[in-house]
């Protein structure tokens, strides 16, 4: 018996060794560098990553339902800080534009200025120089890549507030995309930026501090969510730790706060339902705060607030109290969502003369628009599947990702749904409501992108990325009623953590 266990352990170690070795060799060939220093740096990154993976697997062996949130806290901070280091400044998806928006807000300009020439923001020229490397804004290259060896020179650029530049739609700074976002989404980043200003640090340092602020807020909100979530903890943890989600939490992005607060709202609703808690004033206030935050993040996720209707009326003082609260919560969120949408529409019209025409088309031809949306989602299904957790769309399409690893992430996350008996009994009418919410969100995402992007020759909506679908992933378990565990949690987490090795190496190879 003892010898059989030893043989089994030996086989596992051999398989693990070959996996790491094959991945290392594969990406070393992708690196294709003749420089000894570069190869040594790549090897150092690889060994550090292997050490982190082994540590996380060792810690996960001791995890139970009461300590999931503690392990998740360890994992999200370790993996998050590694991603912050591995991702050069401004290289996150739309990170430069989001940084400009966050800096503009930090200067007290909560709403961007709009005049007859379009959107205008006056900010230090050094912000542009930290990104492009040049003082001249006309040398701005939206598709440029900053490698690791360029970071020291970017860090040395000071923040000179006396030398300003017009960031607008009238020159190549092309400042427009993030102006439609609410200031509330940048609160985590603002903390880091303000700390950097106190110590008179340069723009690139502000980027790193803003990333750290984003990660800390994302981690705190999702740790609470993991602790509250009574079922499907492993599934939620793997989605939150997936490279796509974590990259949004470790760069200057609106995705981090949005994913965190939508997850916390869903986890809190499920907690109330499963634990049959009475919804008192304290719970109502918290739900109002979460509803406000979701409404001010992205209007497309507003339908998630309808989850409140899943809470049985028996958990309120009375049926009347239940109905009044649920309706007022939806109206509360709708008012703020529409309010910011009307404000943001000013920027949409300034970005493109066709935005207003696009909006009119949706209302004038709803059936035609519906078929455009359906065709679009059918056309991009494979692309979204490959990019939902790890893919080429990361860092604004700057990665070359092997499809095998993208699909492997999807497969492992799906396996995590079947690692424990869930027995989450959701009535069929509630499942219909959830399905309606998902359809509404997909429609709103398509509508938002339709307004911002002209239709191409194929008559499809452009710009829909897989990362926009992350909040919908948290709704998937509500459809399921798992009555038997089919897979080991430790095995599934081990597979997931091992996939981080090629994921991190993909990033290193791209920017080294």
The pLDDT tens digits of the residues spanning 371-401 come to: 989 999 999 999 999 999 999 999 888 888 9
pLDDT tens per residue, range 14-30 = 888 999 999 999 999 99
Q: Which two tokens stand for residue 417?
A: 């749904």
Q: Which two tokens stand for residue 497?
A: 């953590």
Q: How confident is the model at residue 35 (pLDDT cuts 50, 70, 90)?
A: confident
151 found inside a domain: no
250 found inside a domain: yes
| Averaged pLDDT of the chain | 88
Per the structure, how many domains does the chain have?
Answer: 1
pTM of the predicted model as reported, rounded to 2 decimal places: 0.92
What is d(CA 387, CA 391) in angstroms, rounded to the nearest whole number? 4
Q: How confident is the model at residue 11 (pLDDT cuts 50, 70, 90)?
A: confident
Q: How confident is the model at residue 140 (pLDDT cuts 50, 70, 90)?
A: low
pLDDT tens per residue, range 145-186 = 899 999 999 999 999 899 988 887 666 676 666 777 888 999
pLDDT tens per residue, range 92-130 = 988 998 999 999 999 988 887 776 666 778 899 999 899
Residue 454 is predicted with a pLDDT of 59
212 found inside a domain: yes
SS3 (DSSP) at 445 = helix
Asked if 236 contacts 419 with a C-beta cutoff of 8 angstroms, the reply is: no
Cα dist from 448 to 310, 442, 452, whole Å: 27, 10, 7
Residue 3 has pLDDT above 70, yes or no: no
First to last CA, the chain: 48
Residue 77 has pLDDT above 60, yes or no: yes
152 found inside a domain: no
Residue 499 has pLDDT above 70, yes or no: yes
Most confident by average pLDDT, 227-236, 422-431, 452-461: 227-236
225 found inside a domain: yes
125 found inside a domain: no
Identify the residue with better confidence: 245 or 3. 245
Averaged pLDDT, 253-278? 93
Stated as kind and residue range, the H or E segment containing 361 is: helix 355-364
180 found inside a domain: no
Residue 275 has pLDDT above 90, yes or no: no
Other C-beta atoms lying within 10 Å of the C-beta of residue 159: 18
Asked if 263 contacts 222 with a C-beta cutoff of 8 angstroms, the reply is: yes
Backbone region of residue 250 per phi and psi (left: phi > 0; alpha: psi in -120 to 50; beta: other values): alpha
What is d(CA 234, CA 364) in angstroms, rounded to the nearest whole number? 45
What range does the domain containing 428 cover? 2-91+205-511
What is d(CA 234, CA 72) in angstroms, rounded to the nearest whole number? 10
361 found inside a domain: yes
By percentage, how much of the chain surpasses pLDDT 90? 61
């Amino acid at each position: 018996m003892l010898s059989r266990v030893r043989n089994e352990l030996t086989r596992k170690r051999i398989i693990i060794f070959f996996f790491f070795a094959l991945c290392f060799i594969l990406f070393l060939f992708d690196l294709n560098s003749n420089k000894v220093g570069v190869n040594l740096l790549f090897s150092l990154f690889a060994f550090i990553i292997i050490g982190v993976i082994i540590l996380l697997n060792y810690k996960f062996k001791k995890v139970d339902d009461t300590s999931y949130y503690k392990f998740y806290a360890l994992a999200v901070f370790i993996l998050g800080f590694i991603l912050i280091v591995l991702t050069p400044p401004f290289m996150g998806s739309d990170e430069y534009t989001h940084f400009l928006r966050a800096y503009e807000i930090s200067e007290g300009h909560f709403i961007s200025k709009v005049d007859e020439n379009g959107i205008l923001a006056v900010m230090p020229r050094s912000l542009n120089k930290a990104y492009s490397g040049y003082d001249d804004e006309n040398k701005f290259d939206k598709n440029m890549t900053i490698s690791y060896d360029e970071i020291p020179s970017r860090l040395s650029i000071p923040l000179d507030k006396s030398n300003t530049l017009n960031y607008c739609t009238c020159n190549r700074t092309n400042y427009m995309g993030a102006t439609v976002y609410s200031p509330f989404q940048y609160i985590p980043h603002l903390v880091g930026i303000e700390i950097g200003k106190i110590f008179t640090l340069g723009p690139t340092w502000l980027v790193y501090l803003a990333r750290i602020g984003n990660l800390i807020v994302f981690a705190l909100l999702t740790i609470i969510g993991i602790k509250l979530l009574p079922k499907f903890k492993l599934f939620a943890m793997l989605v939150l730790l997936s490279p796509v989600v974590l990259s949004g939490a470790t760069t200057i992005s609106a995705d981090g706060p949005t994913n965190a607060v939508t997850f916390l709202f869903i986890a809190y609703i499920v907690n109330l339902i499963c634990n049959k808690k009475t919804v008192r004033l304290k719970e109502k206030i918290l739900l109002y705060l979460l509803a406000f935050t979701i409404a001010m993040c992205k209007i497309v996720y507003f339908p998630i607030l309808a989850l409140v209707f899943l809470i049985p009326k028996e958990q309120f003082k009375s049926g009347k109290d239940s109905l009044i609260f649920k309706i007022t919560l939806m109206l509360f969120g709708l008012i703020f969502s529409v309010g910011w949408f009307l404000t943001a529409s000013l920027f949409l019209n300034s970005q493109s003369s066709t935005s207003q025409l696009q909006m009119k088309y949706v209302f004038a031809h709803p059936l035609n628009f519906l078929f455009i949306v359906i065709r679009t989602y059918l056309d991009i299904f494979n692309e979204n599947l490959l990019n939902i957790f790890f893919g080429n769309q990361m860092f604004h399409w700057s990665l070359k990702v092997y499809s095998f690893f993208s699909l492997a992430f999807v497969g492992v996350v799906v396996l995590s749904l079947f690692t424990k008996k869930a027995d989450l009994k959701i009535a069929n009418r509630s499942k219909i409501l959830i399905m309606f919410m998902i359809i509404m969100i997909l429609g709103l995402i398509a509508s938002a992108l339709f307004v911002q992007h002209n239709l191409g020759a194929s008559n499809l909506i452009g710009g829909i990325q897989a990362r926009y679908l992350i909040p919908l992933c948290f709704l998937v378990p509500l459809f399921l009623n798992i009555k038997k565990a089919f897979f080991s949690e430790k095995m599934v987490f081990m597979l997931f953590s091992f996939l981080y090795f090629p994921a991190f190496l993909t990033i290193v190879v791209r920017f080294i």
